[in-house]
């Protein structure tokens, strides 16, 4: 398994935990649409960014995301684990 794949899976696990433990929402899969399943709104997005910054030890700029990148756990992890900041 590559470093990028390991990082992506670790980020996916962190995002899953955030929604489950902090937002009390069970996201059915990494590819599930977070907006459609009611997991992601503006407040949960702020909390997610703070959680990821703490877990990853880095600052996350929302400028690196397109709206479509925030629709699933898999897309969020792909953007954050990409060496150049994009999937």
Tell me the per-residue pLDDT of 33-77, one tens digit each, with 9 for 90 and over: 999 998 999 899 999 999 999 988 989 988 888 889 999 999 999
The CATH number of whichever domain residue 65 belongs to comes to 1.10.1200.10
Q: Does 59 map to a domain? A: yes
**What's the number of domains the chain is made of?**
1
Instruction: Tell whether 86 is covered by a domain.
Output: no
Q: For residue 23, which phi and psi values (nearest 5 degrees)?
A: -100, -10
Q: What is the pTM of this model?
A: 0.85
> Domain range for residue 67?
3-81
Q: Length of the chain in residues, anyone?
A: 87
Residue 26 domain-assigned? yes
Does residue 87 lie within any of the structural domains?
A: no
Q: Which residues contact 19 (CB under 8 A, 6 or more apart)?
A: 25, 26, 27, 34, 39, 44, 48
């Amino acid at each position: 398994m590559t470093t990028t794949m390991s990082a992506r899976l670790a980020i996916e696990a962190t995002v899953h935990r955030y929604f489950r433990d902090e937002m009390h929402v069970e996201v059915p899969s990494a590819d599930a649409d977070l907006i459609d399943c009611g997991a992601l709104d503006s407040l949960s997005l702020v909390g997610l960014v703070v959680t990821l910054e703490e877990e990853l030890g880095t600052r996350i700029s929302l400028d690196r995301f397109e709206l479509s990148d925030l629709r699933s756990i898999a897309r969020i992890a792909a953007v954050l684990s990409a060496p150049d900041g994009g999937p």
